[in-house]
Amino acid sequence: MTDQEKDQMISDVKVIRQEIIKLRNNVDSILAVLLDNNTELENLNSDSIAKDLIVIICNYYKITPFDLESDSRKGFLRPARHIFHALLYEVTNSGKHGKKLSLFQVGSYFGRDHATVKHSIDEVEKSKAVSEMLKVVPQDGTQSLYWDYLEIKLKLEGRLNSVQIKLDN
């Protein structure tokens, strides 16, 4: 392969990468619009909470819902899935929003079993224990699973609270 062919291939890959980023942004925008239009009608049931959580996590990690749902074992997807399972279980079992979901029901959103959801919850709890033991706030993009979990939880609670206020009026 000549240098010119290599340069052309690199150029093509860069163009394709930019197109993928544009498509991901379009998917995120479409999902956000759909959620905004449907949330009041769904009245904070567990499905609407799951949809909101998917959009928040996908935007946070810059992934697509397809990435989150896929069977891929890529390392960058694990924290997103762990947080989805742990937060959906926690929020729906708090008694404030929607019906309570079992571990099995949470897992069924992405075709996982109850043991996978339990493992996700355990991973978040382990990260929490380490973060509390070290008493250090991560800096310079070195987020831990627990700190990501807290940031996403705040975004979800803000969304749920704003929807609840709309419904109350």
Return the axis-axis angle of helices 145-168 and 46-61, rounded to nearest 10°. 130
CA dist list (Å): 162 to 68, 144, 149, 155, 158: 25, 28, 20, 11, 6
Most confident of 15-19, 96-100, 162-166: 15-19
* Residue 57 clears pLDDT 90, i.e. is over it: yes
pLDDT in tens, 113-163: 999 999 999 999 998 888 777 766 655 555 678 888 988 998 888 877 765
Give me the pLDDT at residue 13, please: 81
Mean predicted lDDT score pLDDT of the chain: 79
As for how many domains the chain has, the answer is 1
CA dist 59 and 53 (Å) reads 10
Domain that holds residue 32: 3-168
pLDDT top residue among 119 and 22: 119
Does the pLDDT of residue 45 top 80, yes or no? no
- Do 146 and 131 contact (CB within 8 A), yes or no? yes
Which is higher by pLDDT, 140 or 30?
Answer: 30
- Domain at 73, CATH number: 1.10.1750.10
Statement: residue 87 has pLDDT above 90:
yes
- pLDDT at residue 139, rounded to an integer: 58
pTM above 0.85, yes or no: no
Q: Which two tokens stand for residue 9?
A: 């291939």
What's the whole-number mean pLDDT along residues 74-96?
89
